[in-house]
Amino acid sequence: MQLNFPVSEPCQWQPPEHYSLTSFQRDWLLAEGSLTKKLKQHCRQFRVQLIGQRPAPIFDSEFDLFKRHHTRVPFEASVREVLLYCDDKPWVFARSLFPLSALRHKNLNLSGLGDSSLGQSLFDQPDLLRSPFEVAQLPDNHAVARLNHQLFGHSQNLWGRRSLFLTGGQRVLVSEIFLSPLPFYESRASHSLNPEESGHE
């Protein structure tokens, strides 16, 4: 499927405590290890489809995580969007961004990833640090939810997570949106909203 790049649009990221998450949801949204490795445990064949990668404007909430080392103007980042497939079905939409200076980081090979896994490259770094997760629930009219509808024929809210990776003096922001086929949605409580909406403390 040919997709117009970039696909994504801003969404409301929150600390995980904002939501009433089940243990099953937390096992996916807050898993510290490589999502690529976790996906491979659930399928026989894993692959990455590159939607696009090039310098592009970034969202305000994304810049907020980079502003310690950059001023707003000029600040240009390379944006990378991919679909992660398990057994020929896209399970995850991922959006990554990094300053153009990170393209010169030899070990990460960010300029030559193509259809290879960024996650695998990151977790191979011995000095890798990761920020706490933020979580979002995307409404069914969000661009990625519309893509999910296009792929699977039904509308639903989608869950996602993001975190910032630090390695070799560089920052890489990775956002991962879980699509319909992911086992995450097998939980009956997977559509719970924030505590005020769900009635839980």
In DSSP notation, 106-166 reads: TTTTGGG-TTS-HHHHHHT-TT-EEPPPEEEEE-TTSHHHHHHHHHHS----EEEEEEEEE
Q: Which residues contact 15 (CB under 8 A, 6 or more apart)?
A: 132, 134, 135
Is 9 annotated as a binding-site member? no
pLDDT at res. 82: 97
Is 122 annotated as a binding-site member? no
Please, what CATH class does the domain formed by 16-198 belong to? alpha beta
Look-up: residue for tokens 């490259």? 121
Yes or no: say if 83 and 93 are a contact pair by the CB < 8 Å rule.
Answer: yes
pLDDT at res. 68: 62
pLDDT tens per residue, range 97-139: 988 878 877 777 788 888 988 888 888 888 999 999 999 999 9
Q: Which residues contact 169 (CB under 8 A, 6 or more apart)?
A: none
pLDDT tens per residue, range 84-101: 999 999 999 999 998 887
Question: What element of type H or E holds 27?
Answer: helix 23-29
Which backbone phi and psi does 85 adopt, to 5 degrees? -105, 140
Which residues does the chain have with pLDDT short of 70?
A: 1, 68-75, 187-201
Is 173 annotated as a binding-site member? no
- How do the domains of the chain map onto residue ranges? 16-198
pLDDT at res. 109: 77
